[in-house]
Structure 1
């Protein structure tokens, strides 16, 4: 007991001896660390401003409501998200490891203990020391792209930079990139080429807005986050100060400097200038009030430069971060209660617990993924499904198996998904989804009485969420006044006997097809 008390006293003395830097010092160190990139940043910002004011759009939220989601995106329905970076090295509880590895107390302190036990004590060892271990020696972008195409994806969205501040692309604004460190490869550039070679659209995501505060826990004790030599990697690491407003909603009072906003805008624009993505995705913190002006600048720039190339592009945002109609809403790990007038997207991961690869992860079943896809598409949405590759560049077997199973289902049933639009109602059945953000694991299991509907070229598709035990299906929404001429089970390509009765369309089903347990029917209707 005496030894424990002594150790606790020493730790308390060391903590008391450390004085965290003040906000002014933090900002000065960060600005100084980024000074080598001032000229390149200024050039990018000048070009961004020029383009933002020259084209069909302007950086004004009213003018930006002229945006329209391109047809390629509305037709695509299914994309792949990729969370891959230095955080894949520890592979410990996901992509927020670099933040929580500096959190010494609280529910996430297991990351700190894991870091110390595995890699060594702080401040000698920190997140920067994991970069050389991120070798990506088995990374094969062509093989990845082929797998994604076979999975049925029509667009792919790699993370260009996550909250950790390590760019997976070739940047003129940072030395902390995958080109100059770690893999020594332009990961995004290689993926962009491979994805487009497979006929898919390229999306890129930037989570850099959150980098402003991501390493804040490292400010509270003697860690390498406080070493000015690494300020360009760890960022300002300002304290993240949240509070409740008078309406009970979250209000964020975290400090964001003009210098950081300029850097964020320049880095976002650089990605667009160098890789011309068909889709740009931002995480939730761009809704922080200080980003509003810079976000409008970026949106106008992005849309205008795309228009000059006759490229239809998508800008994904979350929550209320953009004015409705100025971009395409993304609901994180969530669903919509009904058909949304504007196209939208949900993103979820093959793992219910993490986005980046983590050892010991659990995985969803292919059935769950396809059921989610059917529900989202019936409500005018797209599904962006995430995987987290390992640090060596291999895709976990569990994730690969899910993609292959989904691909087999899409190959047989894709006619009910691709290019469709919502019907007069999204579906029927007893199961109600848990709508909203971070609700995707709260929906009860679907039953054979649950159907989702889509339309294309005058034909109706009914997707049955499970196979009935009686080999008989009843679709109440297709009443006797709708003249059905034929029903085809897409899984077999064969006709299904049917009768129309006052209570709906009755189907006499064959033996259950093998594979994912979700079944699509093409229902031909007589023209009036």
Structure 2
């Protein structure tokens, strides 16, 4: 993607994160100066969590929701939609790149170079816009790690930009004295990429599988020789129930309702990658695009990641300074982390701090929104800030 004017002038492709006021139970949930507890990977232990004061006061952050799915300039969930025969993204992909049996999302990654990326300028701009914390995408459902990952060879250092994007963001955030956040979405690649197992139902290539089941053995002589597409797509498993229904994934987001359960190896790899991310870049905030915590309840890896982050924060600061965000939380889980409401807000005064996140256009860049001037207006953004903060 070569067009960067809007990113520099209007924060295109970025999400705003708004931390709400908390009107009740302030003494109960205030952060103590020194935290002498050790967190265990259980909901009961994580319920000791207290939201740090710095986050209560921050109120407003900016999120660079930017990765390889921005490269085609065709909107959110591109790496899934391009495998949905007849969809807008499928049609666009066939016209721009070719049929998904021949040019899959792995090949889109190879097109993405991030050659005009300037993290110091951008994070400086976000701070001038009022951000009090900064969030960067560490990976999305497309499963490409945007950092120097020890446990995922499909990463932005080895492929695509061939840069450690998270290191660049972290350095820029530190220079601006902004707490660093990372957003982690890769737990869902297992189910999300199932569209890549499909094939066309009609036309000249009917029945020819898309590239979702390709293996390393098929890479001889190709640009991705030596890399196993299954480490990216994670599709060496049967499809979930009703997988051919494009909308069924939403009812299976919490790993129920007929989803084909991920293996222990898949869950362990997610854990290793996330711990590597936390230990390398030392974020204060971690955003999970999951119901409760990643891979819960089929695995406890999310609980183990949360305990690790909280204990690491106490060791570093002498108190708990970190924040984890999760979605669709029950009453007990809301004590363990900060409730995130994507593109919405609570309809009542909440007893605990919460956050909403939204974007000016789509979560991934869509050129049509820019061309047609369909970004959120300044008035709408200001109204949201007034309502939430």
Q: Place the TM-score, normalised by the shorter chain, in its bin.
A: 0.7 to 0.9
The alpha-carbon deviation at position 158 of structure 1 amounts to: 0.8
Judged with a 3 Å threshold, the aligned counterparts in structure 2 of structure 1 residues 288 and 300 are, in CA distance, closer, same or farther, namely closer
Counterpart position of 1:228: 215
Is 1:102 aligned with 2:89? no
Q: Distance in 1 between matches of 2:135 and 2:298?
A: 23
Counterpart position of 1:206: 184
Q: Distance in 2 between matches of 1:73 and 1:210?
A: 28
Counterpart position of 1:80: 62
Instruction: Please say if residues 211 and 237 of structure 1, whose CA atoms lie closer than 8 Å, have aligned partners that are also in contact.
Output: no
Cα distance per residue 1:150-200 (max 9 Å; x no partner) = 110011111100000111111011221111111111111111110121111
SS in 2 for 1:80: strand
Q: TM-score, normalised by structure 1?
A: 0.57
Counterpart position of 2:268: 262
Counterpart position of 1:334: 344
In structure 2, which of residues 41, 49, 58 is the aligned counterpart of residue 67 of structure 1?
A: 49
Q: Distance in 2 between matches of 1:290 and 1:250?
A: 7
SS in 1 for 2:61: strand
In structure 2, which of residues 316, 337, 340 is the aligned counterpart of residue 309 of structure 1?
A: 316
Aligned ranges for residues 495-506 of structure 1 at < 5 Å? none
In structure 2, which of residues 367, 377, 386 is the aligned counterpart of residue 359 of structure 1?
A: 367
Cα distance per residue 1:15-54 (max 9 Å; x no partner) = xxxxxxxxxxxxxxxxxxxxxxxxxxxxxxxxxxxxxxx9
SS in 1 for 2:368: coil
Cα distance per residue 1:449-484 (max 9 Å; x no partner) = xxxxxxxxxxxxxxxxxxxxxxxxxxxxxxxxxxxx
Q: Give unpaired runs (5+ residues) of structure 1.
A: 1-53, 378-528
Q: TM-score, normalised by structure 2?
A: 0.76
In structure 2, which of residues 151, 172, 192 is the aligned counterpart of residue 194 of structure 1?
A: 172
The alpha-carbon deviation at position 253 of structure 1 amounts to: 3.0
Q: Distance in 2 between matches of 1:69 and 1:296?
A: 17
Is 1:295 aligned with 2:302? yes
The alpha-carbon deviation at position 291 of structure 1 amounts to: 4.4
Counterpart position of 1:89: 71
Counterpart position of 1:318: 327
Instruction: Please say if residues 81 and 156 of structure 1, whose CA atoms lie closer than 8 Å, have aligned partners that are also in contact.
Output: yes
SS in 1 for 2:339: strand
Is 1:253 aligned with 2:274? no
Q: Distance in 2 between matches of 1:237 and 1:275?
A: 31
The alpha-carbon deviation at position 365 of structure 1 amounts to: 1.0
Judged with a 3 Å threshold, the aligned counterparts in structure 2 of structure 1 residues 236 and 250 are, in CA distance, closer, same or farther, namely closer
SS in 2 for 1:135: coil
Aligned ranges for residues 453-464 of structure 1 at < 5 Å? none
Counterpart position of 1:407: none
Instruction: Please say if residues 51 and 323 of structure 2, whose CA atoms lie closer than 8 Å, have aligned partners that are also in contact.
Output: yes
Judged with a 3 Å threshold, the aligned counterparts in structure 2 of structure 1 residues 259 and 250 are, in CA distance, closer, same or farther, namely closer
Between Structure 1 and Structure 2, whose CA radius of gyration is higher? 1
RMSD (CA atoms): 2.1
Counterpart position of 1:21: none
SS in 2 for 1:158: strand
SS in 1 for 2:230: helix
Q: Which has the higher contact order (CA 8 A, sep 6+)?
A: 2
The alpha-carbon deviation at position 236 of structure 1 amounts to: 2.8
Counterpart position of 1:515: none
Q: Distance in 2 between matches of 1:235 and 1:68?
A: 36
Instruction: Please say if residues 219 and 237 of structure 1, whose CA atoms lie closer than 8 Å, have aligned partners that are also in contact.
Output: no
Judged with a 3 Å threshold, the aligned counterparts in structure 2 of structure 1 residues 292 and 317 are, in CA distance, closer, same or farther, namely farther
The alpha-carbon deviation at position 132 of structure 1 amounts to: 2.4
The structure that is strand-richer by fraction is: 1
Q: Distance in 2 between matches of 1:367 and 1:250?
A: 39
SS in 2 for 1:265: helix
Cα distance per residue 1:356-387 (max 9 Å; x no partner) = 1111112111121121112112xxxxxxxxxx
The alpha-carbon deviation at position 121 of structure 1 amounts to: 2.4
Instruction: Please say if residues 143 and 232 of structure 2, whose CA atoms lie closer than 8 Å, have aligned partners that are also in contact.
Output: yes
Q: Give unpaired runs (5+ residues) of structure 2.
A: 1-35, 200-208, 217-228, 243-247
Counterpart position of 1:376: 388
In structure 1, which of residues 206, 211, 218 is the aligned counterpart of residue 196 of structure 2?
A: 218
Instruction: Please say if residues 215 and 237 of structure 1, whose CA atoms lie closer than 8 Å, have aligned partners that are also in contact.
Output: no
Judged with a 3 Å threshold, the aligned counterparts in structure 2 of structure 1 residues 55 and 172 are, in CA distance, closer, same or farther, namely farther
The alpha-carbon deviation at position 269 of structure 1 amounts to: 1.0
